[in-house]
Structure formats: structure tokens, C-alpha cells
Amino acid sequence: MSKNTMKEWVDSSDIIPLRTFIANVFFIGKTSVRGDFVLVDAGTLFSSSLILKTAEKLYGRGSQPRAIVLTHGHFDHTGALSRLLKVWSVPVYAHELELPYLTGMKNYMRPDPTVGGGIMSLLSPVYPHRGMNISNHVKPLPGDNRIPELPEWRWIHTPGHTDGHISLFRDKDRALISGDAFITVKQESLLSVLTERPEPHGPPAYFTTDWRAAKRSVEKIHALHPSVVFPGHGMSVDGEVLSQFLDRLVQEFDQIAIPKHGRYVSQ
């Protein structure tokens, strides 16, 4: 989506992406309805004011979401969360397998700088991998794949990148928010992150610990035949380009996504 179509997009869609440095967050809700939205993911550190300002611009002054839904708990998807929760008093949903990392019980595995072959991988040892503690706010997603505050959507378990990674799917238009299970930028490469020409990719390699599960998750996404995908990193893709991307990624997952060697590859 180019910038000049942003207004058109906001007027016609109720899924509004916002890029926070390297990761996307999404506002779900018609901007014509004041203060009625759900936020998916919470961006990088220092992006709280960008997220708050955008929420005000889209949904009116002082508006707060009905809930925040996390695709997973990595630092670039939860960076602004603590600050947002000082302003917004809202529930935060995550998969129950992700809760130990959001209640201070567990840290993620250390990122593997040897995979992916790009600057973003080499820098990955400095990315925070420690769990956070938002136990006053965080709740497990209901077991029946529903999200109370998003009645048209269901969550799909897409593990591999993390144990409790989820994607969000809406049957009526087959829109999918994929988190890091399927992304459209080579997240390990700084050039690719900056230029953002969409291409199919599996989850960011330096943080992915279970490649077999990651592959099954991409197959699960493929089987849903989404009409449009909004990834955690990179541009949204739809239509024929999306089908080609997903076909290719499923067929060539081992070549495209799995690093040839690395700390978590043989596990």
C-alpha cells in the first residue's frame, strides 16, 4: 500500500496497518465508529506515542481500544505495551503458551546471530529476549478460537516462531493477520527491511526455535486461502501475488525459510 492511497485505505477498510520502525501493528475497527477498535500487537520500544497519536487520529480524542491482541510476545511486538497500558486500561490477549513470557515466568531463547546472513541477524544478540510482566492485564485467549472483542475473527495457532504464536483470520473476507508466521520481507537483511519490496518469507530466523512447527503453520495459513495477508513485518499482499507467495513458500519452505545451519535448526 503506497502512502497516497492511505486515506482511501482508511476510508474503505477496517484493518489499518501502522509501521513502528521494524514491525507492524494493526488497528481493527471502522474509523467512522468513534473509539471502537482493537489493537493487534504493540510495536517496538519508543513507539507508544506514535500508536497513541494514530489511535486518536483514527478513532477520536481519548479513545482506547476494546482490547489488545498479541500475535506473540517478542520485543518488537510488545515494545510499547507497558507505556500503552499506563494510558489505556484494557485487557491484553495472548495464547496460553505465550503467557509465561508475559507474566515474568520465562525468557525467550536467545536470538541466533548466525542465521539469515544479514545485519539484522548479526545485531540480534542486542534484541531483548527477556519476558515481560504484564500479569495485571494479560489474559489467555479463549479455548474456542474466538476473541470476545472481535466477534468476526478467530485466532489460529501458528507456532514455530514461538510456542504460543497466533494469527487472526476473518472468514467473511478471508483477511489474515499473520504475525511473524509468514512475513513479506527478509527480516534478517537490513536492506530488505528498509526497502520493503514484498517477497515471501518464513518467520525471522534469528528468533525461530521450532522449524518443523513453523512449516506446519505456513501450511495451515496456505490452506485457509486468505485473500489478503497483513504480516508483522513487511507490506500487506493480496490476490494472485499472495497465492503465488504462499504456494512458493509451502513448496520451497526448506530452501526459503530454514537456515542451512544454526543453533535451533536441528531441534
- Residue ranges in contact with Zn ion by CB under 5 A: 74, 180
Q: Which is nearer to Zn ion, 58 or 80 (CB)?
A: 80
Distances (CA, A) of 48 to 15, 69, 86, 178: 19, 16, 10, 22
Contact 139, 155 (CB under 8 A): no
CB of 232 to Zn ion, least distance (A): 7
Q: Which is nearer to Zn ion, 163 or 180 (CB)?
A: 180
Q: Which is nearer to Zn ion, 212 or 225 (CB)?
A: 212
SS3 call for 128: coil
Tell me whether strands 166-170 and 23-28 are parallel, antiparallel or unpaired: unpaired
CB of 120 to Zn ion, least distance (A): 12
CB of 198 to Zn ion, least distance (A): 18
Q: What is the 8-class DSSP label of residue 257?
A: T
Positive or negative: CA dihedral 147, 249, 236, 209: positive
CB of 128 to Zn ion, least distance (A): 12
Q: Which is nearer to Zn ion, 101 or 169 (CB)?
A: 101
**Which ranges of the chain would DSSP assign to H, the alpha helix?**
6-12, 48-59, 75-78, 81-87, 119-122, 190-195, 211-223, 239-251, 253-256
CB of 35 to Zn ion, least distance (A): 29
Q: What is the 8-class DSSP label of residue 84?
A: H
Q: Which is nearer to Zn ion, 58 or 134 (CB)?
A: 134
CB of 112 to Zn ion, least distance (A): 13
Please report how the helices 211-223 and 239-251 are oriented relative to each other, as an axis angle in degrees rounded to 10: 140
Q: Which is nearer to Zn ion, 149 or 180 (CB)?
A: 180
Determine the residue with CB nearest Zn ion: 74
Q: Which is nearer to Zn ion, 112 or 180 (CB)?
A: 180
CB of 38 to Zn ion, least distance (A): 20
**Which ranges of 117-169 would DSSP assign to H, the alpha helix?**
119-122
The C-alpha atoms of residue 153 and residue 174 are separated, in whole angstroms, by 10
